[in-house]
Each structure stands twice: as C-alpha cells, then as structure tokens.
Structure 1
Amino acid sequence: MAATTRRGLMLVMSSPSGAGKSTLSRKLLAADDGISLSVSATTRPARPGEVDGRDYFFVSADEFARMVEAGEFLEHATVFGNRYGTPRGPVEAALQAGRDVLFDIDWQGTQQIAETMADDLVRVFILPPRIDELERRLRERAQDSAEVVARRMDGAMEEISHWAEYDYVLVNDALEACYDRLCQVLNAERWRRRRQPWLSAFVTKLREEGAARAQSS
C-alpha cells in the first residue's frame, strides 16, 4: 500500500473587514484537526489574557529588526506603529510534516508570501454579498462613530480591489454555504499532485510491476 503522506499547504484567507473571514476561520479551525492558525510575531505589548507563543510571539523592536534582516519572516508589515510578521520556521516545519497552516492576512502579506512560497500557497478571497450589507455589519459589530465606519469602508474598498490576485473568490452570502465551498476548496487543494511527494515512487513501482507481469506472461 502506498504511503499517503503529503506536503501541507498554506491557506490564506483575505477579505474586507466585516465580510465574515474571522467567523469562517474559527469554524474551520474548530472542525478540522489537520489545519492550525499561523502565529505571528509582534512588537506590540501583550494584552490581558494573551499568551506568548499561542496568540503571538511577543518580541522587542530590536529582535524583530534582527529577524527581518536574517530573512526569518515570510511576510511582515507595520500596523498602527507596531510591527507584525509571520515566522518562517514554524510554517515550514508544519508543511514538511503534512500539516496545513491558515493565514488571516491582507493582500500585501499574501503578495509577500507568494514571492517565495507560491507552490505551497492557496489564496482565498471572501467578498460580502452587497456593500450596504458590509456597512451594516461594520456598524453593528463595532458600534464605532460614523467617521470610523467610513474609514473602515474606504479600507474595504481598497482590499476588494485586489480580489483578482487570489486563486478562489467566495461570496459570503450565507455563512454555511460559504463555509461548505471553503471546505471543498481546501479538500481539493490537499490532493493536488505536487503535494503528494510519494506518488512518483509509487507510479514507478506500478510500472515496474506491470513490466514484470508482461514479461512473465
């Protein structure tokens, strides 16, 4: 029987704020033991209840700069004065072990990862069903001022403009239906030929068995 060990994949999910990406991510992580959430490093202080190594890797600004210089990040960015990045080592170890890694990052981080590990990357973009529905979700979720909501909507429009850079685009018109489509994408991508390193040796063995059988008959 063939070994079915496969190489893991990196599932990137991006969306404008309020499109339901976080809800879909939590649902997938709770249901699928074969995928785990990428843990980012950050220079911001830990918040109450956050645990180093589980929520983030909390590092100093100097250590973050050293990691950037050493090429230890798959992607990194500065957000509101704090630096965030995805450490390369844990992700590569998970992929080698056949585990999948989920990323909740924007289009800029996705582009950075695609520059170095495109073969391992599966990019999924989540769209809202309507712009007014997106605005409604933002207002109800955050209860922010009209100015803050307007700023978030501007950011959403910028994020949406990058939809064509993704492999799959799902419209979150109904949560369960969108989740089912996401699972279909993940399951199909897991069985891509390039993620089955055992196949070459298996097919060679099949051909050798076939040739031996032909010679003996």
Structure 2
Amino acid sequence: MKRKKLKYPFFVIIGPSGSGKTRVAEAVFPKEYKVISHTTRPIRKEEVAGVDYYFETKERFQHLISTDALAEHDTYHDNQYGVGTAELIQKTADHYAYDVLTIKGFQEIEKQFGNMVIPIFLEVSKKNVLTRLQTREDDIMVIKQRGALYDQEIENKDKVKRYPNHYIINANQQFEKVVQDVKKAVNESCKII
C-alpha cells in the first residue's frame, strides 16, 4: 500500500559495516538532502542531535512505531533505527534526498514508494572492511562482531540487484573514485526519472 508518491528520488546507500557508506554519502550529497533517521543508539561525542540522528528513548521509538510514523524501522547492533515518513516526503518535495540504511530498511521504503527509492550498494572486500574498522574502532569485540557480519551483509548485493534502478559501486577503489562513481549514479538516475 502506497502512502504517497515521492516527488524526487530517494537514494539509499547500503553496504557492509566498514564499507564507507556514511563517509561516501556525506561527500556526495549536500548536508540538507539527508533524511535524518531516528535511533535509540546513544549519541556519540562528534554527533549533533537533529543533524546526525533524532536520538530517541526506547519508549519514544515505540510510540513512533505504534502511531505508524515510520516508513521503516530495524534493529542493528541492539539499537533501533527508523525513517520517519513525514521527513522522507518533506525532504523529497523539492529535490532528491538520501540516507544510509540496512537492506531491510530499503526494502520497506521501496514497497511503499516504488522505483523512486534507488539503492546504491557499496561493494568492498572483507580485508578492506577489517582494515577500515581497525582504524576507526578501539573495541576489539566490536571489530570481531562487525567482521563476522560481513559475509551476511555482502549477500545483500544480490538482493539489491533484483531492483531495476540499482547501482553496485566498487568501494575497494580510492575514496575519490568511489565518490565520483556514486555521483555519476545519482546524476544518471535523476536524468532517467
């Protein structure tokens, strides 16, 4: 059941943990084009509430679910995440928008809004993922957990390929080349739609 049509495309960046999704997305898209997700995850020291995420209590997040205010919601590393339907529609009213989501989050939004939801999958080797995680994460257990998830998360590439407007980007390349390839995919999509 579709709630409302999106006026402009919504790009969803997907990939294994450590693939560079957030960093690439921030380099490709203007800040104001981000659909800000809700989360129960604690705020990190470099983050700003209402800019990086809407940080919610578990009770408030449950309220968002029960009032059907979320276009999708998922649990990742024991924290809940979700995209607000009103925010998604508002952000795509005048231009395209984006967010970094799980495959499940993408699929839920795509069910409601169809081909205007475009997945961009960042494909990266396990070796590169582990190297990147080691440079940004101090907790060895977190690195092991996310490394163990790699095999499961890389399988999402095959799920993404089932959608007509998908893009698979080689994220093993230099960062600047990955950004260039994602920009090319976004420009190509905007010409088609």
TM-score normalised to the size of structure 2?
0.82
Q: Which whole-Å CA distance do the structure 1 matches of 2:42 and 2:63 have between them?
A: 18
User: Which deviates more, 107-116 or 77-86?
Assistant: 77-86
Q: How far did residue 85 of structure 1 move?
A: 1.1
Number of residue pairs matched by the alignment = 182
Q: Which whole-Å CA distance do the structure 1 matches of 2:47 and 2:184 have between them?
A: 33
Tell me the amino acid that sits aligned with residue 84 of structure 2.
Answer: P
2:96 corresponds to which of 100, 114, 134: 100
2:66 equivalent to 1:72: no
Q: Which whole-Å CA distance do the structure 1 matches of 2:45 and 2:174 have between them?
A: 34
Q: How far did residue 114 of structure 1 move?
A: 1.5
Percent of aligned pairs sharing the same letter: 22
Tell me the amino acid that sits aligned with residue 20 of structure 1.
Answer: G
Q: Which whole-Å CA distance do the structure 2 matches of 1:149 and 1:102 have between them?
A: 27
Aligned match of 2:20: 20
Aligned match of 1:168: 167
Q: Which whole-Å CA distance do the structure 2 matches of 1:50 and 1:136 have between them?
A: 23
2:138 equivalent to 1:139: no
Q: Which whole-Å CA distance do the structure 2 matches of 1:20 and 1:80 have between them?
A: 17
In 1, are the aligned partners of 2:14 and 2:100 still within 8 Å (CA)? yes
Tell me the amino acid that sits aligned with residue 88 of structure 2.
Answer: V
Q: How far did residue 135 of structure 1 move?
A: 1.9
- Secondary structure of the corresponding residue to residue 13 of structure 1: strand
In 1, are the aligned partners of 2:12 and 2:98 still within 8 Å (CA)? yes
**Deviation string for 1:137-166 (max 9, x for gaps)?**
222332432x44332111111110110222
Give the direction of change, closer, same or farther, for the CA distance of 1:185–1:143 in structure 2 (3 Å limit): same
Give the direction of change, closer, same or farther, for the CA distance of 1:69–1:152 in structure 2 (3 Å limit): same
Q: How far did residue 136 of structure 1 move?
A: 1.9
Give the direction of change, closer, same or farther, for the CA distance of 1:191–1:154 in structure 2 (3 Å limit): same
Tell me the amino acid that sits aligned with residue 184 of structure 2.
Answer: Q
Give the direction of change, closer, same or farther, for the CA distance of 1:169–1:144 in structure 2 (3 Å limit): same
Tell me the amino acid that sits aligned with residue 132 of structure 1.
Answer: K
2:123 equivalent to 1:127: yes
| 1:35-46 equivalence runs, <5 A | 36-44=33-41, 46=43
Q: How far did residue 180 of structure 1 move?
A: 1.3
Q: Which whole-Å CA distance do the structure 2 matches of 1:148 and 1:63 have between them?
A: 27
Tell me the amino acid that sits aligned with residue 10 of structure 1.
Answer: F
Aligned match of 1:198: none
Q: Which whole-Å CA distance do the structure 2 matches of 1:149 and 1:63 have between them?
A: 30
- Secondary structure of the corresponding residue to residue 76 of structure 1: strand
Q: Which has the larger radius of gyration?
A: 1
Gapped regions of structure 1 (runs ≥ 5):
1-5, 194-217
Normalized per residue, the structure richer in helix is: 1
Tell me the amino acid that sits aligned with residue 134 of structure 1.
Answer: V
